[in-house]
Amino acid sequence: MTNPTDHRTLNRRQFLARSSGIAASVTTCISGGAALLTSATATAKPQSTAQDCTPAVTEAFYGRHQGGIATPMQRHSYFVAFDLTSEQKDDLISVLRDWSAAAAILCSGSAKFDPHANPDQAMAQTGVAVGLPASRLTVTIGLGASLFEQNGKDRYGLADKRPAALIDLPHFAGDQLDPQRTGGDLGIQVCADDIQVVEYAIRRMAAVAAPHAVMRWAQSGFAGNFPHGYTGRNLMGFKDGTMNIDPNDQDSMRHFVWVGEEGPLWMRNGSYMVIRPVRISLEHWDTMKQSFQEQTFGRQKTSGAPLSGQHEHDALKLDAQDSNGMPLTPDNAHAAMAAPENNDGAQILRRSYSYDNGIARIAERWPPWRQAMMFDAGLLFQCYQRDPRTGFVKLFDRMSKFDMLNQFATHIGSGLFACPSGAEPGEFIGEKLFA
């Protein structure tokens, strides 16, 4: 940036704020001209649920951690996995560098990708988001295992730098993974409160990568605009996230989410993202009695309270029994399967969105095994953890075998991406990997 005054000032301030654990927020509008900057204070949210309509907040791109992980969930998301078409390490570096530069400017709310570009070059300015606020846009960049090693081949001379935690995910019971929705050399997650800002940003990032990468698979997601403090509901009608890690709980984040000194330098303060589109048989689910649904989830539908409790945030009390000595919560209820006390304390930061790809001809998994047009919709499961072996794999290996929810849920895609630490202004995400 040869004329960095405005952005440098902004980024430095955001960087300091992010580093001290306080999210910086700036009221700014994506416009063709100069961005209107007004400082404001973000409200800390206790839970990672969908945000109220707060149109004019900017999330810092630069900082100790990448955005989009501890960030309170925005309303819309778009994930794209890319495969590199080049076997040159410099081209990989070029993609990561250009992505970081583009993302920093996108997140700042400026529509101009390159302030020195010819204004007649539409590539610099698609115009799609002109007039819209930045809407808490975040861009989260991840590296897939295939960058380090693919079919035994060390494509970029990075094989010996592959972190032990960047495993090949095992095959789980029930997995029906579509290769065209699985894996990828690189993964990008864009989130914002405005769907058009998300569209604008993901298209921009795809264009930036285009010289050296092709899109492999993509999935957008959404969350309802539930009121502040209300745990959002998924497409099964249940509150989702009641027991999630609180991103403001620094101890939990350090313990469960951020990579510590056990990881390579480029991953410290980073995290591992697991992303899995999970198709849910909504038509079938909707025919189930509510009492059965509640047994399946291990929670009450309307309030979200445990089956043994009254209020959403009551303790689960998995050993509570009815007057006949029968457990109130089935051992294979979803909430019981996921509870830390049944998993040696394991926890992950979930950041899942719902998805809906319209309708498709789908074969039912129960008599009379109809083939019919049904909603191709469900959960875009997403979580962040310090180490997938002690996070997602630890939890899901058992759940994939026993969770009552499995009869309605099918994992149809999968990805694991190492999301490096955040970057300082002038640095790019993942730069330390190449040091």
Binders in 13-52 for a copy of itself, by CB under 8 A? 32
Contact residue for a copy of itself among 43, 357, 397, 401 (CB under 8 A): 357
Nearer Cβ to a copy of itself (356/424): 356
Q: How many residues in total does the chain contain?
A: 435
- Partnered with residue 409 across adjacent β-strands are 280
Of 18 and 112, CB closest to a copy of itself: 112
Cβ neighbours, 10 Å, residue 419: 24
- Residue 305: C-alpha distances to residues 189, 261, 310, 336, 399 (Å): 32, 38, 6, 13, 21
C-beta closer to a copy of itself: residue 26 or 236: 236
Q: Do 105 and 113 meet the contact criterion of CB atoms below 8 Å apart?
A: yes
Q: Output the six-digit token pair for 433.
A: 């990997």
Q: Among 290, 322, 331, 345, indicate the residue that binds a copy of itself (CB under 8 A).
A: 290
Q: In the range 131-190, which residues lie near a copy of itself by CB under 8 A?
A: 131-132, 135
Least gap, CB of 109 to a copy of itself (angstroms): 14
Which of 154, 286, 331, 341 contacts a copy of itself by CB under 8 A? 286
Residue reference for tokens 């605009």: 225
Neighbour count for residue 48 (Cβ, 10 Å):
23
CB of 429 to a copy of itself, least distance (A): 23
433 phi and psi, to 5 degrees? -60, -30
Question: Taking Cα atoms as reference points, which of 124, 119, 127 lies closest to residue 102?
Answer: 124
Q: Which is nearer to a copy of itself, 1 or 130 (CB)?
A: 130
Question: What contacts 273, CB < 8 A, 6 or more positions away?
Answer: 69, 140, 142, 187, 189, 382, 383, 384, 415, 416, 417, 419
User: Within 193-222, which residues bind a copy of itself (CB under 8 A)?
Assistant: 193-197, 199, 203, 206-207, 210, 214-220, 222
Three-state DSSP state, 265: helix
**Nearest distance from C-beta of residue 90 to a copy of itself, angstroms:** 23
Instruction: Say how many C-beta atoms besides its own lie within 10 A of residue 52's C-beta.
Output: 16
CB closer to a copy of itself out of 226 and 434: 226
Site for a copy of itself in 58-77 (CB under 8 A): 75-76
Number of residues that bind a copy of itself (CB under 8 A): 72
Residues between 216 and 275 with contacts to a copy of itself, criterion CB under 8 A:
216-220, 222-227, 230, 233-238
Cβ nearer to a copy of itself, comparing 318 with 377: 377
Selected range binding a copy of itself among 88-96, 126-134, 149-157, 327-335, rule: CB under 8 A: 126-134
Complex with a copy of itself: residue 201 or 318, whichever CB lies closer: 201
Q: Which CB atom, from 265 or from 373, has the smaller least distance to a copy of itself?
A: 373
- Dihedral sign (CA 171, 176, 179, 184): negative
The single residue among 22, 36, 123, 265 that binds a copy of itself, judged by CB under 8 A, is 123
Q: Tell me whether residue 363 is exposed, middle or buried, using C-beta atoms within 10 angstroms of its C-beta: 0 to 12, 13 to 18, 19 or more.
A: exposed
Residue 282 binding a copy of itself, by CB under 8 A? yes
Contact 229, 47 (CB under 8 A): yes
**285 makes contact with a copy of itself (CB under 8 A):** yes
Q: Verify binding: residue 372, a copy of itself, rule CB under 8 A.
A: yes
Phi, psi of 147 (to 5 degrees): -65, -30
CB of 281 to a copy of itself, least distance (A): 12
Tokens of 110: 């400026």
